Structure 1
């Protein structure tokens, strides 16, 4: 269960953007932040502030990952060959909760984490209940047979607000999905602009 499950839309309002692209987001109606000081006039952000906001936005998008876990992923991305910002996105998209969300088996990333924790998901035939489990290209992810008629699942696959990206092949009739490849930043269908390069700058200070 996500720590922020009950107040996830506060992340939207704090960022001033509808980061999940959901029609229910209060950011669609109120551009100012939450709380009694939310309507105060905002000054121009410093370079540090811009970098911090980019980090908070990406962390929030993936279910408000803890700072310790997010920094660990960043360190791993920085040690891999290639561009660190691209590696970071690739590692985040390989998380099982992200793949379940991309396959449209659940309506939100927060719901994906809960769905996995409750044991509704199998990877390559084995039940996995760890949301941060890392998928590899070719992995077969499926909703357990007993869970395929859950209202949440049936409603989610019908959602028109987002499509399944091409690096995940989903079969909603069988409730299975294959993680085809590790995506690049340009492949990921973020509703708002993500700037992982600013996160690299933040941690490189």
Structure 2
């Protein structure tokens, strides 16, 4: 299991953006970075810095997955036919924890990872507890019957903060989500601008 070593709100402040679009993000009140030097005026960022920032932001969005795991996804995306940046987003969106989060079964992507680890999720009727499990088009993800009345789930379903994207067919009454297709970058409802092309440039150096 990939462990998150930093506080998630620090990711927001480090990037200076509300990465997940959450109402409680500290960036909504303080746009400068954390620490005693956070308010100092920043100089112009180098090309490397811009690319690194884009990578850290995209990696952080999906639950701050480890560098090793993220690089592995990039390497696979670069081997596939077509545009590498589009392939990268498609592979990340196929993660089971990403599907659980997009379907609004849990409030955050971090909660989605823990939810999967604790065995609350089934894929095509079989229990899966690996957050990075890759869902295929046509697969049906569902919340186990015993877990459907958890306060976490009920709160997330009723939350107006996010909309379910159109590449998922979600039935909240049955707590199921069908993954209809691999989304293109333009289909993914990021609350902030993501730049996967800069991630490709970073790894292509």
Distance in 1 of aligned mates of 2:41 and 2:6: 27
Distance in 1 of aligned mates of 2:98 and 2:5: 16
Alignment check: 8 A CA contact 2:84 2:200 kept: yes
Structure 2: runs of 5+ lacking an equivalent: none
User: Residue 169 of structure 2: SS of its match in structure 1?
Assistant: strand
Moved >6 Å (runs of 4+): none
Distance in 2 of aligned mates of 1:170 and 1:5: 32
- Relative to structure 2, which stretch is displaced further, 69-78 or 6-15? 6-15
User: Residue 98 of structure 1: SS of its match in structure 2?
Assistant: helix
In the superposition, the TM-score normalised over structure 2's length comes to 0.98
- Could you say which residue in structure 1 is the equivalent of 2:147? 147
Distance in 2 of aligned mates of 1:2 and 1:21: 23
Q: 1:65 to 1:6 in 2, by over 3 A?
A: closer
Superposition pairs of residues 56-205 of structure 1, within 5 angstroms: 56-205=56-205
Per the TM alignment, residue 3 of structure 1 is displaced from its structure 2 partner at its CA by 3.2
Alignment check: 8 A CA contact 1:2 1:110 kept: no
Distance in 2 of aligned mates of 1:173 and 1:5: 35
The count of aligned residue pairs is 205
Quote the RMSD (CA, aligned, Å).
1.1
Distance in 2 of aligned mates of 1:143 and 1:94: 17
Structure 1: runs of 5+ lacking an equivalent: none
Per the TM alignment, residue 40 of structure 1 is displaced from its structure 2 partner at its CA by 1.8
Distance in 1 of aligned mates of 2:65 and 2:39: 27
Alignment check: 8 A CA contact 2:2 2:66 kept: no
CA deviation map 1:92-134 (0-9, x unaligned): 0000000000000000000000000000000000000000000
Distance in 1 of aligned mates of 2:45 and 2:80: 31
- Could you say which residue in structure 1 is the equivalent of 2:24? 24
User: Residue 158 of structure 2: SS of its match in structure 1?
Assistant: coil
User: Residue 53 of structure 1: SS of its match in structure 2?
Assistant: helix
In the superposition, the TM-score normalised over structure 1's length comes to 0.98
User: Residue 122 of structure 1: SS of its match in structure 2?
Assistant: strand
